[in-house]
Structure 1
Amino acid sequence: MPVVRRVNRGPSAAAENRAALIAAAREVFASDGYEAPLTSITRVARVGQGSLYRHFPDRISLALAVFEDGVRELEALAARPGTTLDDMLALMTEQTIASTAFIGMVSVSPADARVLRVRDRVAGLLEGLLAEAQQAGRVRADVTTDDLMLAMGMIAGILAKEPAAARHETAELAWKLIRTGIDT
């Protein structure tokens, strides 16, 4: 039986390969976590290791590309008139339920400047909404953005150990407990 080889399309396949790698990483990180083998991602994307490293020199670069869409979704929500802190925390929780890998990345590599920039973007989205909730008397005045980021990290840590089918219920219970400490 003849061996069927894929034709190397060279540079013309670059954008397609990059998109395939991001989609595959999203899938693999969601199922296997941030520390999933990169070979699993190249296998799902159907590209070689060289293509992976041409586009993403390290794991963090790949993870940041995967989660950029989620951050943009948070930014779009924050820009909508009438968005509340609860709306933002709900979307962040849904994203965490879908993939705990982003929080895993942030907690594994907090010293990386690229990760800190993304973390700061997300924290900045919470800042104004938190202030509004505090002014409305819904959230205690001593709660900080860092407290909310810590709460998200704690929830992500719990969800990472839960089967996917139990994550919604676990997240609801965790927020119920956390809200008793932050609400007025």
Structure 2
Amino acid sequence: MESPTEKRPARRKDAEENRARIVAAARAVYASAGFDAPFDAIARHAGVGRATLYRNFPDRYALGAAIVEDDLCELEALAHEHGDRPDAFMKLLSAIVERHTETHALVPALLRGPGEHALQALVPRVTRLLTVPLQRARAAGLVRDDLTLADVIDVLAMLSAVLADDGSGRARDRRMARALELLIHGLVPRAPVGSPIGPNSPRM
């Protein structure tokens, strides 16, 4: 017979798997039906009972915050993977935009309700995530030397505005990609006065 100590890791693993399924299901359901989608729909999509869902997440705001935090964990792993590479900042920026496009309605909904506190608790991690990569990108001349973290936050807010009144699917993705392309031109160093600008000019 297994001892209680031997059984605990299996229970923890099951709990982690349930949580991962719930978060993945919530992403899909919120993307198709919006943040007000019934909790029952998420439970069905995840293949878990209502009790399991509520045991992990007492309300939609806790679940929404978990999605945002999981995205942040992935971004932190990406930052670690790229180490001290000077192009890490641009890769992180692109990844942030990609995830935000997928969950564009989530953050505004959380900010309107009890999820605001959970989001604010993540702000220091976002700051740490971008600060050093931005410094390295500036030192390498990949971005303007006057670009600040506050500027980056403003850029992300502009991109959020692009999504706010847009449709869904491919049209939204194309519009977001175009907006990011235009904004990146404002992030890179300006060409010296008199430098040629045309098809043969250096590109990112």
With the length of structure 2 as denominator, give the TM-score of the two structures: 0.68
Identical-pair percentage:
36
Alpha-carbon displacement from aligned partner over 1:33-63 (angstroms, at most 9, x marks no partner): 3343334323423445443322212222212
Q: Is the 8 A contact 1:34 1:104 kept in 2?
A: no
What is the total number of aligned residue pairs between the two structures? 173
Correspondence 1:164 to 2:169: yes
Correspondence 1:174 to 2:174: no
Higher RCO structure (Cα 8 Å, ≥6 apart): 1
Structure 1 unaligned spans of 5+:
1-11
Shift in CA distance, 133/33, structure 1 to aligned 2, threshold 3 Å: farther
Q: Which amino acid aligns with 1:45?
A: A
Q: Is the 8 A contact 1:33 1:104 kept in 2?
A: no
Other structure's SS at 1:162 match: coil
Alpha-carbon displacement from aligned partner over 1:113-145 (angstroms, at most 9, x marks no partner): 321122331232111111222223333344322
Alpha-carbon displacement from aligned partner over 1:40-91 (angstroms, at most 9, x marks no partner): 3234234454433222122222122233332222111111232521111111
Shift in CA distance, 39/116, structure 1 to aligned 2, threshold 3 Å: same
Q: Distance in 2 between matches of 1:41 and 1:50?
A: 12
Q: Is the 8 A contact 2:137 2:143 kept in 1?
A: yes
Aligned ranges for residues 16-95 of structure 1 at < 5 Å?
17-79=18-80, 80-81=82-83, 82=85, 83-95=87-99
Deviation at 1:146, TM superposition (A): 2.9
Q: Distance in 2 between matches of 1:153 and 1:110?
A: 21
Q: Give the root-mean-square deviation of aligned CA atoms.
A: 3.0
Shift in CA distance, 111/140, structure 1 to aligned 2, threshold 3 Å: farther
In terms of Rg, which structure is larger?
2
